[in-house]
Amino acid sequence: AQSVTQLGSHVSVSEGALVLLRCNYSSSVPPYLFWYVQYPNQGLQLLLKYTTGATLVKGINGFEAEFKKSETSFHLTKPSAHMSDAAEYFCAVSESGATNKLIFGTGTLLAVQP
């Protein structure tokens, strides 16, 4: 069965510092991988997704993620954190790519310190 593990429920960085949010997945077939962001009092928004092809995926707001099959990882990074990046981030996996089979991780709350 597929699953997602997000390491670190809370991450704090200084403004301008590198953001690294970790996601590891388990899947018996090549996965489709997603990162979603949730701002306070809002629903989730898609940041980026990996389906096939290039393993480095660029998303909105300067975020990117790299699919590493050997490490079963899909970590999210941003070179320089901004105060507006403070939010909760969710990694998700779908074996078939079907939206109805999307499995979410438990989330990582990112705090950005001035």
Partner 1 sequence: EAQVTQNPRYLITVTGKKLTVTCSQNMNHEYMSWYRQDPGLGLRQIYYSMNVEVTDKGDVPEGYKVSRKEKRNFPLILESPSPNQTSLYFCASSLMGNSPLHFGNGTRLTVT
β-partners of residue 77 are: 20, 64
Q: Which is nearer to partner 1, 40 or 114 (CB)?
A: 40
Under the binding rule (CB under 8 A), the answer on residue 44 touching partner 1 is: yes
* C-alpha 86, offset from chain centre: 14
Please name the amino acid found at residue 57. V
Q: Round the CA-based radius of gyration of the chain to a whole number and report it.
A: 13
Under the binding rule (CB under 8 A), the answer on residue 113 touching partner 1 is: no
Distance CA 93, CA 103 (A): 5
Under the binding rule (CB under 8 A), the answer on residue 43 touching partner 1 is: yes
Shortest Cβ distance from residue 16 to partner 1 (Å)?
Answer: 29
Under the binding rule (CB under 8 A), the answer on residue 3 touching partner 1 is: no
41's CB contacts (< 8 A; 6+ apart) are: none
Distance CA 39, CA 36 (A): 10
Which residue from 65, 62, 80 is spatially nearest to 33, judged by alpha carbons? 65
Instruction: Count residues binding partner 1 (CB under 8 A).
Output: 24
Under the binding rule (CB under 8 A), the answer on residue 40 touching partner 1 is: no
Site string for partner 1, 71-110 (x = CB under 8 A): -------------------x---x-xxxxx-x-xxxx---
Under the binding rule (CB under 8 A), the answer on residue 22 touching partner 1 is: no
Which residue ranges make up the site for partner 1 (CB under 8 A)?
9, 32, 34, 36, 41-46, 49, 51, 90, 94, 96-100, 102, 104-107
